[in-house]
């Protein structure tokens, strides 16, 4: 941002991005800006969580709490994504997440998000596979985020973080989401894929499009535009895949897939599925935790004081941020047989949403779950990364990026001040931020 614009009263960074009006996705869903009724006024039988406007306004907490207390296994008979079950308690989510025999994440059954995939556009990916194919493909990409690689990445992440924070306009407003969170995560993603660095924002774009087919601010052309941009992504990565396959194997994700015994003969759609999984997994989660940490410390100023007094709390604070933020609100499973739970029967073929965002705030498991407590003793027991065989493959890398960011922030700034309530993503899957104006105050 040019210095001469920074002094004007109408600062560009303080303009909240416009949200365009749109037709509600389903009868009964809210229009943009409609008031969200409190959970206490609703008939619990018809609770439906996936109305995007509820998420855009951040008005879901009382709904989740009511379900945990009154109906921990809840059936929504009718929604934009069809009928689905909601599981909202920590222990129940854990039980389902590790029971991959009875609760499948395979794309053949519908995958990891609610609703049916487009008939002619299925994208198999290893997180949406059952054993043994899941383990075979996951093992192929694991070396890119193995401990020896994290050691190698550490100095690169640190120097980039330092360079970016040194370029920030101190004492002037700017959008933290775009300037810091997106930029840092996209730089890391470009490195993991060995993607042309100057074109790294392609990855941000594909990540946003992949999870926002029905959001006109991101994908105004709907399904047709979504398919077109996904095919652009596939064409780009198919070229890289073939190129890397003809070269000696390296440790980037595409080279590993191109040389892997179980992945070198992937179909194009399988390649696209895995690329999108790695882009969304490596991008949305980390970037929203980076923004969430700044926001949380502003909401809980006593915790910011605690951090200033003892920066050694940063690693634990990172775990607490990932719990408090929960960057992916849910994961879907599909029942492979009839299952009894809480006196109800989940029928074979039913879709189930494991609401990680609710499990991470379950009063039965956590003390003061809605508070952000950077020295929380059991913060690492959050379920934001999933659990069991599908636990996030890059979780250690995400934690490392966040730790380095906060170590470098504490070196430079006395305080990062959030100037306005952030704008939130609309949609129930990726739970994050699209804009948050801040001022960084020098030490």
Region 120-130 average pLDDT: 51
In a domain, 388, yes or no: yes
320 falls within a domain: yes
Question: Does 289 have pLDDT greater than 90?
Answer: yes
**In the chain, % of residues over pLDDT 70:** 88
Note down the domain range covering 431: 39-442
Looking at residue 261, what is its pLDDT?
Answer: 86
The 10 Å CB-count burial string (b at 16+, else e) for 22-36 is: beebeeebbebeeeb
Dmax (CA) of the chain: 65
- Which pLDDT score is estimated for 113? 83
CATH number of the domain where residue 58 is located: 1.10.630.10
- What is the per-residue pLDDT across 6-41, written as a single tens digit (0 to 9) for each? 333 467 768 899 999 999 999 999 999 999 999 999
Is residue 7 in a domain?
no
pLDDT digits (tens, 9 = 90+) for 84-110: 999 999 999 999 999 988 998 776 777
Residue 17 placed within a domain? no
Q: Is residue 119 part of a domain?
A: yes
- Residue 128: pLDDT band with limits 50, 70, 90: very low
Provide mean pLDDT across the span 388-417: 87
For residue 5, give the nearest of 173, 179, 176 by alpha carbon. Answer: 173
Reported pTM:
0.91
User: How many domains is the chain built from?
Assistant: 1
Three-state secondary-structure class, residue 423:
strand
Q: Confirm whether 4 is domain-assigned.
A: no
Distance CA 174, CA 168 (A): 8
Q: Is 260 helix (H, G, I), strand (E, B) or coil?
A: coil
Q: Which of 63-77, 91-105, 338-352 has the lowest mean pLDDT?
A: 91-105
401 falls within a domain? yes
Residue 12 lies in a domain: no
The token pair at 59 is 């008005």
Q: 71 pLDDT exceeds 50?
A: yes
Phi (first) and psi of residue 310, to 5 degrees:
-150, 80
Helix axes 183-193, 147-166, angle to 10 degrees: 140
CA distances from 158 to 155, 205, 416 (A): 5, 24, 19
């Amino acid at each position: 941002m040019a210095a001469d614009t920074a002094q004007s009263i109408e600062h560009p960074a303080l303009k909240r991005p416009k949200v365009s009006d749109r037709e509600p996705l389903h009868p009964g869903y809210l229009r943009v800006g409609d008031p969200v009724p409190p959970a206490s006024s609703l008939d619990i039988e018809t609770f439906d969580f996936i109305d995007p406007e509820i998420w855009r306004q951040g008005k879901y907490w009382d709904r989740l709490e009511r379900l945990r207390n009154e109906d921990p296994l809840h059936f929504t008979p009718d929604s934009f994504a069809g009928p689905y079950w909601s599981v909202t308690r920590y222990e129940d989510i854990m039980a389902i997440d590790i029971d991959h025999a009875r609760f499948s994440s395979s794309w053949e059954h519908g995958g990891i998000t609610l609703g049916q995939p487009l008939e002619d556009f299925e994208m198999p990916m290893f997180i949406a596979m059952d054993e043994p194919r899941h383990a075979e493909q996951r093992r192929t990409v694991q070396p890119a985020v193995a401990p020896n690689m994290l050691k190698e990445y550490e100095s690169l992440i640190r120097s980039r973080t330092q360079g970016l924070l040194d370029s920030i306009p101190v004492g002037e407003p700017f959008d933290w989401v775009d300037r810091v969170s997106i930029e840092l995560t996209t730089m890391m993603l470009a490195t993991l894929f060995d993607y042309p660095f100057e074109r790294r924002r392609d990855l941000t774009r594909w990540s946003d499009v992949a999870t926002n087919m029905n959001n006109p601010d991101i994908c105004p052309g709907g399904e047709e535009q979504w398919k077109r941009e996904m095919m652009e992504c596939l064409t780009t990565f198919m070229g890289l895949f073939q190129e890397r396959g003809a070269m000696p194997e390296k440790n980037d994700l595409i080279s590993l897939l191109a040389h892997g015994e179980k992945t070198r003969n992937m179909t194009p759609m399988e390649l696209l599925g895995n690329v999108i999984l790695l882009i969304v997994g490596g991008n949305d989660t980390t970037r929203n935790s980076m923004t969430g940490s700044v926001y949380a410390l502003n909401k809980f100023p006593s915790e910011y004081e605690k951090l200033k007094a003892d920066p050694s709390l940063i690693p634990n604070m990172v775990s607490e941020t990932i719990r408090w933020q929960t960057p992916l609100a849910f994961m879907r499973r599909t029942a492979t047989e009839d299952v009894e739970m809480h006196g109800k029967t989940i029928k074979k073929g039913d879709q189930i949403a494991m609401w990680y965002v609710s499990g991470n705030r379950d009063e039965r498991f956590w003390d003061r779950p809605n508070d952000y407590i950077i020295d929380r003793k059991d913060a690492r027991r959050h379920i934001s990364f999933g659990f069991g065989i599908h636990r996030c493959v890059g979780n250690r890398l995400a934690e490392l990026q966040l730790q380095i960011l906060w170590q470098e922030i504490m070196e430079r700034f006395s305080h990062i001040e959030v100037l306005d309530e952030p704008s939130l993503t609309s949609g129930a899957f990726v739970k994050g931020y699209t804009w948050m104006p801040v001022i960084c105050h020098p030490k």
